[in-house]
């Protein structure tokens, strides 16, 4: 099984973008968590990461873009 770091590095090879995108993702998680930590989740596959609140995709990273 591939580890999460390898997946992230393959999705976001640019280190500067990676930092910026994950900062935005973290801010989104912090905001969602103020409402209820049971209402959001992060899912990742080999080519994308998704942040969902309820049934809505709030944030997605795929092929180096958000």
Token pair listed for 55: 């049934």
- The predicted structure's pLDDT at residue 2: 59
pLDDT digits (tens, 9 = 90+) for 7-54: 788 888 888 888 888 888 889 999 999 988 899 999 888 788 899 998
Q: What is the pLDDT of residues 34-46, one digit of tens each?
A: 988 899 999 888 7
Please tell me the pTM assigned to this model: 0.73
Domain boundaries, the chain: 4-62
* Burial class (CB within 10 angstroms; exposed 0-12, middle 13-18, buried 19+) of 35: exposed
Confidence of residue 1 (pLDDT cuts 50, 70, 90): very low
28 Cβ neighbours under 8 A, 6+ residues apart: 51, 58, 59
Give me the pLDDT at residue 52, please: 93
């Amino acid at each position: 099984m591939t580890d999460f770091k390898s997946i992230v590095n393959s999705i976001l090879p640019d280190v500067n973008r990676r930092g910026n995108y994950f900062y935005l993702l973290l801010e989104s998680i912090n905001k969602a968590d103020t409402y209820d930590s049971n209402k959001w989740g992060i899912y990742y596959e080999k080519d994308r990461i998704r942040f969902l609140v309820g049934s809505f995709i709030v944030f997605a990273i795929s092929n180096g873009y958000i």
